[in-house]
Amino acid sequence: MLPISYYVGLSAILFSIGALGVLIRRNAIIIFMSIELMLNAANLAFVAFARAHEALSGQVFVFFVMTVAAAEVAVGLALIVTIFRNKQSIDVDQMSSLKG
Amino acid sequence: MTTTDFLSILPITILVAWASILLLVDVFTNKQKWLTPLLAAIGLTVTLAFSITQSGNAYAGFNGMVVVDGFTSFLNVLFAISGLAGIALAYDYNKRMGLERGEYYVLLLFSVSGMMLMAAAADLIVVFLALELLSIPLYVLAGFARPKLDSEEAALKYFLLGAFAGGFVVYGVALAFGATGSTALGEIMAAVNTGTADMTLLLIGSALILVGFGFKVAVVPFQMWTPDVYHGAPSAVTAFMAVGAKAAGFAALLRVFVAALPTLYEELVPVMWVLAALTMFVGNIVAIAQSNIKRMLAYSSIAHAGYIFMALVAFGQQAVAPDAVAAALFYLLAYAVTNFGAWSVVIALEKAEGKGLQLDDYAGLGRKYPALAAAMLVFMLSFTGIPPTLGFVGKFFLFRIVLEAGFVWLAIIGVLTSLISAYYYLRVLVIMYMRDGEPEISSPVLLKLTTGLTAVGTVVLSIVAVPLFQWASQAVMKLF
């Protein structure tokens, strides 16, 4: 079996890619995908740690995270669709009607 | 499920069940627009009553995943009242702005239930679930004025940043789980004390959780979404989320860092010190440049997050920790009352198409509507921290704790930034009283009632502040 640190390392890399994606990409859907990547990086870490500690609760947490992610998708995609109808664009750099 | 389990989440259960029923009721009572808000208010009142009966008790349910103690009851009462104020502000506002849809109140109830769960959470899983339960309805509420572009943009920005913050929280929880083998705060604390925990991993995890909640409560440098979201969202929603989401975020921070801080004190406190100082500076200084009252109040809310954050810094000193929590709770209460009052004035002056929101629109208010102007005077004094208002007492307790904990410079920064804040708060008063203008207001009964009650509350509660503070400190003694 691979040592636990490999899994945790992979999850840290995935999390960083996700966080960078949110900061760098400008398309709302891709930003959203990057956020999902962050959540799934956490899921990987949970499963790996659950195995290491032999504690089932970590695996159960993954289900919670997946459920919450699904709820977020429902609301998030709806918001993105509404704004696309209005602006014909989902580029976050063009979301600039609010300025002070 | 034992009786204790059931009792521990009773207020939340009532609220969620009631909101679900309301969804159905709303479908069948399309003509009676007043019915859903009324029923929602009744549901909240019942929840409030149950929360009050719970105070004084302390027990844990669901194997310690949720706890009911003074801290929970205090915040539950605050959240239920915030919900009621949110409904009172929204009812006429929604009618005026053409947003009269029953879902509004249902979403508000769901959000309040998430906040209450947050106050009761004693397990990181529950903290995360509560965070999402309170946030997701708020994303929708922020975009409630669709197809108005401002509102949609606010919702999208709030959503993306909120979900981003959620990602940080989850990953932080995963690392804390990895470090200690448990997500229950009590067990994490035990693992730390027995030395079986991986402290590096726990430190990184706590830092990530701090970042996630930093976004939620709008601490600099995680505040960039706040002005846009507060500006674009319907004002009634902004008022509610400025209080509720912030209080819930701080509730979680206080709970979580009870477990983390004693051992990670050395590493985390300098970071929090800098965050608090930065937040007070940036919030107050940028607020000066605002000409739109919604944006000004948004930056003011950032600044107030900085003040409350000071309590978290002081929190690490074991000797003053209970008082620090009490001071934070008291400040949240003061902020809630004042904030709802100020937003009720904003709502009274706001007109369709985002008109009536510039500071200049307040010119002449003192002459034409003296009562409303007097209320605004009270709220601005309270925000600044001038007696006899709740804001002053809140700041007094907060600064005292910070000094007792030995952070003299932080207290000095707090006082200095309060002085800076006087400039933009008092400017509103100058415009109201010294300039001529013809402001027009709409003042339906509920709105007047909210303004009046919060204005009286801001003054009267400051006179009975000491017993109130004692109530808050008793509330906290039973934490764990």
Does B174 contact A86 at a Cβ distance shorter than 8 Å? no
With beta carbons less than 8 A apart as the criterion, state whether B245 and B298 touch.
no
Write down the residue that tokens 């934070």 correspond to.
B328
Does B166 contact A76 at a Cβ distance shorter than 8 Å? no
Output DSSP code: residue B76.
H
User: What is the rounded average pLDDT of the residues B69-82?
Assistant: 92
Q: Which of A22, A49, A80 sits opposite B174 (nearest CB)?
A: A49
User: What is the rounded average pLDDT of the residues B411-432?
Assistant: 94
Does B143 contact A82 at a Cβ distance shorter than 8 Å? yes
pLDDT tens for residues A35-63?
999 999 999 999 999 999 998 889 999 99
Mean pLDDT over the full length of chain B: 91
Copy the structure tokens of residue B188: 């994490």
Examine the pLDDT at B168 and tell me if it is beyond 90: yes
Write down the residue that tokens 């509404």 correspond to.
A82
When pLDDT is cut at 50, 70 and 90, the band that residue B260 belongs to is low
pLDDT tens for residues B282-323?
999 999 999 999 999 999 999 999 999 999 888 877 778 888
Interface of B with A (CB under 8 A): 125, 128-129, 132, 136, 139-140, 143, 146-147, 149-150, 152-157, 159-160, 163-164, 166-168, 170-171, 173-175, 177-178, 181-183, 227-228, 231-232, 289-292, 295
Does A95 contact B157 at a Cβ distance shorter than 8 Å? yes
pLDDT tens for residues B175-202?
999 999 999 988 888 888 888 888 899 9
Share of chain B above pLDDT 70, in %: 98
Examine the pLDDT at B479 and tell me if it is beyond 60: no
Does A38 contact B228 at a Cβ distance shorter than 8 Å? no
> Which residues does B203 contact at the CB level (< 8 Å), separation at least 6?
B264, B267, B268
With beta carbons less than 8 A apart as the criterion, state whether B22 and B137 touch.
no
The domains of chain A are located at: 27-90
Cis bond before residue B370 (omega within 30° of 0)? no
Residues of chain A scoring pLDDT < 50: none
Does B174 contact A42 at a Cβ distance shorter than 8 Å? yes
Compute how many other C-beta atoms are within 10 angstroms of the C-beta atom of residue B316. Answer: 22
User: What is the rounded average pLDDT of the residues B394-420?
Assistant: 94
Copy the structure tokens of residue B87: 């409904």
Tell me, what's the pLDDT at B4?
Answer: 84
Q: How far is CA B186 from CA B63, B72, B263, in A?
A: 11, 16, 14
Mutual orientation of helices B235-288 and B225-232 as an angle, nearest 10°? 140
Examine the pLDDT at B480 and tell me if it is beyond 70: no
Examine the pLDDT at B477 and tell me if it is beyond 60: no
B172 alpha-carbon distance from chain centroid: 22
The size of chain A, in residues, is 100
Tell me, what's the pLDDT at B228?
Answer: 93
Among B43, B73, B75, smallest CA distance to B57 is for: B73
Examine the pLDDT at B356 and tell me if it is beyond 70: yes
Secondary structure element (H or E) that encloses residue A22, with its range: helix A4-24
pLDDT tens for residues B116-137?
999 999 999 999 999 999 999 9
Q: How far is CA B380 from CA B299, B385, B458, in A?
A: 14, 8, 11
Examine the pLDDT at B277 and tell me if it is beyond 90: yes
Find the residue in A nearest to B197 (Cα): A53
Contacts of B167 in chain A (CB under 8 A): 15, 18-19, 35, 38-39, 42
CA–CA separation, A84 and A27 (whole Å): 11
pLDDT tens for residues B22-46?
999 988 887 888 899 999 999 999 9
Tell me, what's the pLDDT at B88?
Answer: 94
Greatest mean pLDDT among B166-175, B266-275, B430-439 lies in B166-175
Examine the pLDDT at B167 and tell me if it is beyond 70: yes
Q: % helix / strand / coil in chain B, to the nearest 5?
A: 80, 5, 15
Q: Can you list the alpha helix ranges (DSSP code H) found in B316-441?
A: 321-349, 365-368, 370-384, 390-404, 408-434
